[in-house]
A and B are shown apart, each in its own frame.
Chain A
Amino acid sequence: MSGAEPVLEMRDVGVELAPLGGAARRITSDVDLALHAGRTLALVGESGCGKSVTALAAMNLLAPPLRLGTGHILLRTPGAAPRDLTRLSPAELRAARGGQLGMIFQDPMTALDPAFQVGEQIAESLRAHLGLSRRAAHDRAVELLQLVGIHEPERRVRAYPFQLSGGMRQRVMIAIAVACSPAVLIADEPTTALDVTVQAQILELLRELGARLGMATLLITHDLGVVAENADTVAVMYRGRIVERASAEALFTAPAHPYTRGLLASLPPLDGPRERLRPIPGQVPPAGVADADCPFVARCPEAMPRCLAARPALTAIAPEHEAACFLHATVAA
């Protein structure tokens, strides 16, 4: 894609669900994603397809029963050798999280510690990573609250999460994520839990911060409208696999995978109100990846016999455009 090497690169990442005493089951497989400085990659797909576990894997933050089955996560920050997050010691990993990697979660109502003032929750990151004094960290927390557009930051810095609205809490969450000027920002549906007007403000803020801090951003969303306005490149996920990857422009003008086309067709009209994706007809897929056939075959309007016999691999169908579908196999060959 762009000439420079990606800041964060996920290679062949597969997440497993390993319940206690049960057999491990793969829920994502062969996920390759590359995040570039100053650019936004959107990861889209239906509920349950594995977006959130991919985001957690990118931070190497999976906790039981989830675990990383395969793959590597390479972090390239200026002035340091590339590091594989899966090989770091716990201390090195902690330094990377919050330091070079910031994360925003979907639900700002539950993502903040209810027993601590929001300023303290920002400041403790600053103290842990930048070694700031208590005083300096507090002052910086006030600046950060200002940066994310919270009025009267000197007062709000002492507020507890339950004293703030959802939108304000998400701003606090963003302040925490960007506190140490990370190279990578991972935002897992940062606006899904907010009302529409607040959604637009938060996305605007993320765009602005991404540009100002030159962060490589992974934006996970249900909303193709959000993708169109915010993303440079898009990866479409279905049942734990990337089924199409392209620049945002190419994806919207020439969607290649029948699943992507279905997603776009289910979008409400542009002049209508924006809402959640309307489901594509067919059974909601079970969790977990399949290997024998195309994961989408049961719902695909263009399914062919060979789709049942083998699984199409993600292949280039045009410059900067890949899809995992036999419809395009002839084009590529």
Chain B
Amino acid sequence: MLTYLIRRTLLVSVTIWGVMTILFGLQHLSGDPTLLLLSSDATEDARRTLANQLGLDQPLAAQYAAFLWNTLTGDLGLSWKYHQPALRIVLEALPATALLTSAAIALGLAVAVPLGILAAVYRNSWIDTLASFIAVLGQSMPVYWSGLLLILLFSTTLRWLPSMGSDGAVALVLPAATLGLNIMARIERITRASMLEVLGQDFVRTLRSKGLSERSVLFRHGLRNASVPIVSMVGLQLSALLGGAVLIETVFAWPGVGRLAVNAVYARDFPLVHAAALVVTLTFCLVNMLVDVLCASLNPQIRLD
């Protein structure tokens, strides 16, 4: 466990270093930011002053060293657009993304796992067909499309739910349902496949020979044995979504990290881009570690080292 933590920490550091270095490189390839920040009729003097303030007049190596040091100390500077600490802006957007993500995952799990189990138990029956129909639908419809459809139906036509913003629980329903539908499809497929494999194993016959209830065979033993691929898939979805469900956040005007990051890129607000990248990378690594630990606790044969 300790070796695992040490190894993982090293890996995370290297990952962050890599991501930040690439971003640093991109920033310097994308031209002089002072031209963007100042109006076109600004004087050369004003431009120099700004470059000096931003440290852009230093040699590249010095800039890079300062940049890495600032990353390490969590000081990514002020957003060029909002003139506030970039990291704080990102962290303030994080709860909205986390809320949307967890709601979507919870919704997806609640439907997909029972549906996947049913599809595996009654494979080739109408339940299985229905489940794969839903899965294909959920997976093949892009979220901006299904999102718009849901808005059309529930907001525009029926006027039951708001189509945008983040005020109150009702505003969460449509974006979470749109994302949930997409995630559900993937989780349902992997649950079905994993359960089918488990239910074909010899030990299931032993469980039945012990006279255990079907509920115990399927949920206690079956699901436990099938859980590692399911958890890994959930982890994958989770880390993808925590990085910001960009499309969904845009369609529903949801004030999350994804929308923030995209806008920062358009505005070439580099400190904000860096902060968003740092937060997303860290969450990604953290989720992966959590998944590893969870899988190890679900399957005693998986060792963390």
Contacts and interface: CB of A to CB of B under 8 A. Distances in A.
Interface of A: 20, 56, 59, 61, 63, 90, 93-99, 101-103, 105, 107, 110-116, 124-125, 128-129, 160, 162, 173, 176-177
A234 B137 CA distance: 59
Using C-beta atoms within 8 Å of the partner chain, give the interface range for chain B: 20 to 34
B251 to A, nearest CB: 41
Given A61-B205, A107-B202, A111-B203, A129 B211 contact: yes
B210 A124 contact: yes
A101 B208 CA distance: 11
A113 B203 contact: yes
Given A111-B203, A124-B216, A97 B224 contact: no
Nearest to B124: A20
A244 B210 CA distance: 31
Contacts, number: 80
Interface stretch (B6-14, B92-100, B295-303): B295-303
Interface string B280-305: 00000000000000000011110000
9 contacts: A94-B211, A105-B202, A111-B205, A114-B225, A115-B224, A115-B299, A116-B224, A128-B212, A176-B210
Given A105-B206, A114-B203, A176-B206, A98 B211 contact: yes
Contact of B201 (A99, A110, A128, A176): A110
Interface string B164-208: 000000000000000000000000000000000000011101111
A249 B290 CA distance: 64
Contacts of A94: 211-213
Contact of A125 (B202, B203, B205, B210): B210
Nearest to B214: A90
A302 B298 CA distance: 60
Contacts of B225: 113-115
Given A20-B124, A105-B202, A113-B203, A98 B224 contact: no
B280 to A, nearest CB: 33
A102 B210 CA distance: 7
Contacts of A125: 210-212
Nearest to A160: B300
Nearest to B225: A115
A97 B209 contact: yes
Given A115-B224, A116-B221, A162-B301, A97 B211 contact: yes
Given A105-B205, A110-B201, A113-B221, 18 more contacts: A63-B205, A94-B212, A97-B211, A98-B212, A101-B209, A103-B206, A110-B202, A111-B203, A111-B206, A112-B203, A114-B203, A114-B301, A115-B225, A124-B212, A124-B216, A125-B211, A173-B206, A177-B209
